[in-house]
Chains A and B, each alone.
Chain A
């Protein structure tokens, strides 16, 4: 807690190393279980005489089958396209809205900020049924565009709110100087503000991409054809239904679906909480 006095070795074991070990085991255990299962041959997997937490033989057969027998590559592609498209659209809309709310003085700006924050709090599980109707009405039901249109409903409020907070930290004087020198708002935004806001925009992009990559209930409801499914619903819908579950393949898919996100995050984990509660609390 405090760094004013050095704790003794016994204190370190009791207050740091033991709880840390428990914490790490609790956190990592499901991932270990995923990984071990994904590389075990079926004969070993479904034999209670074999040790559960270890693989005697390592095989990549489950991984191979995902690509050979199942459209896993298609789901990966769909996840990538949907997440990237929804992220880009939401960043564009959110940058404009966030900048306006942070900088431009106009009547109703504060109310708009509140509306966007409230929209961020509305859970997807409250909206999915009527939104399915709107998606159908737009002719997008069961098309690759259904999710690209649906995901901005939570990404735009998030990006606007997050970027609004970020823009506020950039000194106003920089753009004002440029504008006094004859620069327009749009030019000042492009030439001065956006380059300075790159770290914030990049973090927003990573969060938005993750939210899209992980989204489940919209993907479950708005898309039916296996050809258009994203990884989460592809795996759950095609592999985890019926009485017999193929755990080797399921866990291989879980490993593959988790790795990209874990890799992306290893670059930004520092800004993590600040992003989600951005602006709600000082400091």
Chain B
């Protein structure tokens, strides 16, 4: 292209990205820096507070509730993502087969992902209800239990309950990613493997899995971010209870800053998302560059 057009291109380029940059600057970068600074202050709902250095972080790390929250977040993230990965692969293998009504089945399978999580989480809360909830009722009707099952009053069951909601909601993201990945694996590879005498299991292991590696990495990283920063499911199903045993970083930050009014401390809680976020961003950019190279 002529140089005249190129220089005009540059001017237009800056002009056209300005609205996006202005928005990201004022509504993401600025609040983000503000949050980092305020996490080092004793700011509360009523007063701007004073600079306290790392006091909030030291205080949090030495307290049992925060330690518990870190453990909860780790368990919630690792178990949910692993379950979504495995179940998503299984679902993709089913939905990739040729059968009548496949498009409908794929569409139905997407539903949990697209409807408002807050509303589906309410349905799950009702499923878990100890007296009228369907799990408790069916357990009693089948004679498995005499008493109602207090699902959300038990620390372990409550954690499993919120993980199940997260898996139910997020598994289709993995399945759809895998389905897209399977389309891009050359059919010749399967034919060659079959000529070489590889059975279905070996073809899956040696052709499908390696072919899906890039999309698996990217989908997992997305899922890790969305899972460890989850708020809605826990806020609605358990409110962090019983006895803080399902609190995640986001719900504890909300409770500390909004209910407790301790803004500085709440921001320090959410600041603990930052290291993992940086790691995930770093890895995502790495895969991105590799894909574009």
Chain A positions near chain B (C-beta within 8 angstroms): 1-5, 15-16, 19-20, 23-24, 26-28, 30-31, 33-34, 37, 45-46, 48, 52-53, 92-94, 96-97, 99-101, 104-107, 109, 112, 114-119, 121-131, 133-134, 149-150, 152-153, 156-157, 160, 176, 179, 185-186, 210, 213-214, 216-217, 220-221, 231-233, 235-236, 240, 245, 247, 250-251, 253-254, 257-258, 261-262, 265-266, 269, 272-274, 276-277, 279-283
Contacts and interface: CB of A to CB of B under 8 A. Distances in A.
A1 B208 contact: yes
Given A34-B123, A52-B138, A221-B254, 13 more contacts: A2-B194, A4-B190, A20-B94, A20-B95, A24-B109, A28-B108, A124-B229, A125-B231, A129-B267, A157-B24, A216-B116, A280-B284, A281-B215
Given A46-B132, A156-B24, A254-B119, A96 B17 contact: yes
B93 interface: yes
Nearest to A98: B20
B123 A125 contact: no
Interface of B: 1, 5-6, 8-10, 12-14, 16-17, 19-21, 23-24, 26-28, 30-32, 34-35, 38, 90-91, 93-99, 105-112, 114-120, 122-127, 129, 131-132, 134, 137-138, 140-141, 168, 172-173, 176-177, 179-181, 183-184, 187, 190-191, 194, 200, 203-204, 208, 214-215, 218-219, 222, 225-226, 229-232, 235-236, 249-250, 253-254, 257-258, 263, 266-267, 270, 273-274, 277, 280-281, 284-285, 287-288, 291-292
Given A149-B27, A240-B236, A27 B12 contact: no
Nearest to B93: A1
B9 A27 contact: no
20 contacts: A1-B96, A2-B187, A2-B203, A3-B98, A5-B194, A23-B91, A27-B172, A37-B126, A48-B132, A106-B14, A115-B24, A123-B225, A123-B250, A125-B249, A134-B26, A176-B1, A216-B232, A235-B122, A262-B111, A276-B222
Contacts of A93: 19-20, 23
Contacts of A245: 126
Interface centre among A130, A233, A251 (most CB of B within 10 A): A130
B123 A23 contact: no
Interface centre among B12, B17, B127 (most CB of A within 10 A): B17
A185 B181 CA distance: 36
A52 B236 contact: no
Closest 9 CB pairs of A and B: A123-B229, A130-B31, A283-B184, A104-B13, A125-B250, A106-B13, A97-B20, A273-B176, A258-B115
